[in-house]
Structure 1
Amino acid sequence: MHKHLTWTDRLKIEKALKEGLKPCKIADRLHVHNTTIYRELKRGTYTHLNSDLTTEERYSPEIAEARYRENLAAKGGELKIGSDYELAAFIEKKIGEEGFSPAAVLGEIKRLGLTFKTQISEKTIYNYIDKGIFYGISRESLPEKGKRKRKYEKVERKKAARTSAGESIEQRDPEVDERKTFGHWEGDCVCGKKKTKQALFVLSERLTRQEIIMKIPDQTAASIVAALNKLERRYGKRFSKIFKSITFDNGSEFADCAGIERSIYGKNRKRTKAYYCHPYSAFERGTNENINKMIRRFLPKGTDFRKVTAAYILRVETWINNYPREILGFASSNDLFSAHLAAA
């Protein structure tokens, strides 16, 4: 399915035409297929009368947008959304431009107290997407493509490749599993392009789903400890209250359990408690796994982290932490984390 265009795209097309760009160059700039631009130019072209009474063909984003709205109304004669262009525009902006899921869009409407002429369900939004009602949105463009979260099956425990560096997850307080207590995190690394060393060290808080993303020079135990040292300096002596425990897999980068747990404010002082999952049991760090998928939307597999700036990583972190999460009643992680942080 080809990509549809938004109002912002149409303004960009008008600007590009004034700059003298050809349709193929405009397509490259907007990351769409050439045929999308040719269709759009046909939709928005009109005959302009000059002051000297000569005429010329011009592109009008207003005309293109109006014809799009007419098309929406024609498709939606029997649809609930009908001529509710405000709701259609809101859905297109949130999903097409900001990367929201249909469920998150409805959650955001509720959270902000917005009212539209029409009320529709998540299922209806998916149906409209399948019918091509919304410009710029298809199943392929959705975060999870409309798929439901898969269930993890219990697997036979396999022997670890190395002895666990610290205490097993089996020793962790059961209340951590229930996500009722703040300050228990999961730690992981997100790999970059093959044959490059740079990676991301990510921490996910289990109760609020708050995410911390830190760029590290390599996936070594020393780099993990250095990242935690930096984080402890950021939070100071509150660190141990905010990071009561961190659960890792048994990767070699997390092997320095003593370094992970030891505070920079005293050799005999602990800053956190490290636990280690069973081998081949990624589901024991389910929060990490789910949020890593969100990270990969912006930094897909094969990304060369040498070329990714700290500012961009912060943008990704901020987007994730401000995203309305269905599992949190469509509050954001940042809202919940900030409340707990104030009390720490």
Structure 2
Amino acid sequence: MRDYGFSAAQQDEIWQRWREGESFNSMGRALGAPMHVVRSFLAQTGGVRQAPRRRAERHLTAVDREEISRGIAAGESARRIARRLGRAPSTISREIARNGGREDYRATAADQEAHQRARRPKQAKLALLPALRAVVEEKLALSWSPEQISGWLRRCFPDEAAMQISHEAIYLSLYDPRRRQAINRKLTQRLRTARPLRQPRTARRPSGRGIIRDMVSISQRPAEVEDRAVPGHWEGDLVMGSRPSAIATLVERTSRFTTVVALPDGIKAEQVTPHLTRHLLSVPAQMRRTLTWDRGREMAKHRTITATTGMPVYLCKPRSPWQRGTNENTNRLLRQYLPKNADLRKYSQEDLNSIAAELNNRPRKIHGYRTPSEVYSELLKSGDALIV
């Protein structure tokens, strides 16, 4: 790996700052190096740090092999050499046999061969199993996450080890340069972030919003909402594009079923309320219980929504997006389709319905790799969903 002029200590610092989520610009300033040099250093590894090579203590060392060579020259048996080195006789016998036998054994050559045989990583599983690779690439092309693919494979092929792979192995095949030949690396563009480098997660910086009249705090929300046992409780928020464009998202807490609402008129309360109300009214009555929303001014007419739909609206505390975490997670998924700098007014309701359908038909780990659509349909048919 090229060091780009960074010392070992500076390389350690780069990786530490990278794990903490610092920008290339910030790292460059701290290290006194141009931003593009820091980025190039990380890009050569795909953002995956390669562990330095080291030998396990149980393996023979170069010094051990020198002792073996001297023992052979002195005419000692493998058992006697093993006793002096504190090793098993079979270890010494195999070492001599795999390196030319007693006549041709050379310590330096044997040590180099052992070092080469121990190189990691070995050939990636996806490179060895074309059928598995084809399935993984097919699902990545559908924007499934590696974790969703891994869980789905375990569910569909429970007794076939050749058709199972961990999500970490998929990520490494996409990003680690030592494994990139195992899979089409262009499929990184189908991941949530579409980034060419694997980046650590960083916390979103929350921001406060204005005061809304007659608002009902989330602390007054029924206790049944918390455990998700009773369906029909929804979370929502706006997802912003280039100002002032936005769309609204609605997520049912139990099934994680998502609805995306176009807001072609704007993001003020009087512009959001009609579109939001119309979509809520399209939800079956038994699935309309409550709505939890971020504390944004677009909810200034929350009483109108409640009067029309019969759904009490509960607003989160300031700077507490985690109080509607299901919706926050969904909004992050939607960024794959709706970039922050895009004009979201260009997306028709049909476009947004297609995006929502794609999300709703992805398997979810929380559901045992069933899809939100499957779970939502089951809830509509179940007796629990009919309790009003």
TM-score bracket, normalised by the shorter chain, equals 0.5 to 0.7
Distance in 1, matches of 2:330 and 2:136, equals 23
- Check conservation: 1:88, 1:134, Cα contact below 8 A: yes
**C-alpha distance after superposition, 1:45-99 (max 9, x if no partner):** xxxxxxxxxxxxxxxxxxxxxxxxxxxxxx997444453111111111211x111
Distance in 1, matches of 2:208 and 2:262, equals 31
Pair 135,232 (structure 1): closer, same or farther in 2 beyond 3 Å:
closer
Q: Matched residue of 2:351: which SS?
A: helix
2:300 to 246, 255, 260: 255
Question: What residue is the counterpart of 1:280 in the other structure?
Answer: 319
Distance in 2, matches of 1:232 and 1:257, equals 13
1:212 partnered with 2:251: no
Pair 224,341 (structure 1): closer, same or farther in 2 beyond 3 Å:
farther
Distance in 1, matches of 2:168 and 2:302, equals 47
Question: What residue is the counterpart of 2:246 in the other structure?
Answer: 199
Pair 308,283 (structure 1): closer, same or farther in 2 beyond 3 Å:
same
Question: What residue is the counterpart of 1:294 in the other structure?
Answer: 333
1:169 partnered with 2:183: no
1:310 partnered with 2:358: no
Give the 5 Å matches for 1:124-143. Answer: 124-129=169-174, 130=176, 131-132=179-180, 133-137=182-186, 142-143=191-192
Question: What residue is the counterpart of 1:121 in the other structure?
Answer: 166
Shift of 1:203: 0.6
Look up the equivalent residue of 2:223 and give its one-letter code: P
Question: What residue is the counterpart of 2:375 in the other structure?
Answer: 336
Shift of 1:330: 1.3
**C-alpha distance after superposition, 1:181-216 (max 9, x if no partner):** 21111111112212x4x4211111111111110101
Shift of 1:313: 1.1
Q: Percent identical across equivalent pairs?
A: 27
Deviation larger for 167-176 or 133-142: 133-142
Q: Which runs of 5+ in 1 are unaligned?
A: 1-74, 264-269
Q: Matched residue of 1:213: which SS?
A: strand
Question: What residue is the counterpart of 1:47 in the other structure?
Answer: none
Pair 261,103 (structure 1): closer, same or farther in 2 beyond 3 Å:
same
1:93 to 112, 124, 138: 138
Look up the equivalent residue of 1:255 and give its one-letter code: A
- Check conservation: 1:165, 1:276, Cα contact below 8 A: no
Distance in 1, matches of 2:347 and 2:208, equals 37
Give the 5 Å matches for 1:29-40. Answer: none
- Check conservation: 2:148, 2:365, Cα contact below 8 A: yes
Pair 100,256 (structure 1): closer, same or farther in 2 beyond 3 Å:
same
Question: What residue is the counterpart of 1:104 in the other structure?
Answer: 148
- Check conservation: 1:111, 1:331, Cα contact below 8 A: no
Distance in 2, matches of 1:160 and 1:77, equals 52
Shift of 1:290: 0.6
Q: Matched residue of 1:189: which SS?
A: strand
Distance in 2, matches of 1:150 and 1:328, equals 26
Distance in 1, matches of 2:203 and 2:353, equals 31
Pair 234,148 (structure 1): closer, same or farther in 2 beyond 3 Å:
same
Distance in 1, matches of 2:346 and 2:127, equals 45
Q: TM-score, normalised to structure 1's length?
A: 0.66
Shift of 1:105: 0.7
Shift of 1:118: 4.5
Distance in 2, matches of 1:311 and 1:210, equals 17
- Check conservation: 1:80, 1:118, Cα contact below 8 A: no
Shift of 1:284: 0.7
Q: Matched residue of 2:239: which SS?
A: strand
Distance in 2, matches of 1:160 and 1:231, equals 24
Shift of 1:320: 0.8
CA RMSD after TM alignment = 3.0
**C-alpha distance after superposition, 1:5-32 (max 9, x if no partner):** xxxxxxxxxxxxxxxxxxxxxxxxxxxx
Look up the equivalent residue of 2:192 and give its one-letter code: P
Distance in 2, matches of 1:179 and 1:288, equals 14
Question: What residue is the counterpart of 2:233 in the other structure?
Answer: 184
Shift of 1:232: 4.6
Deviation larger for 83-92 or 122-131: 122-131
Distance in 2, matches of 1:143 and 1:109, equals 20
Distance in 2, matches of 1:152 and 1:181, equals 30
Distance in 2, matches of 1:232 and 1:313, equals 16
Paired residue total: 255
- Check conservation: 1:250, 1:276, Cα contact below 8 A: yes
Q: TM-score, normalised to structure 2's length?
A: 0.59
- Check conservation: 1:221, 1:252, Cα contact below 8 A: yes
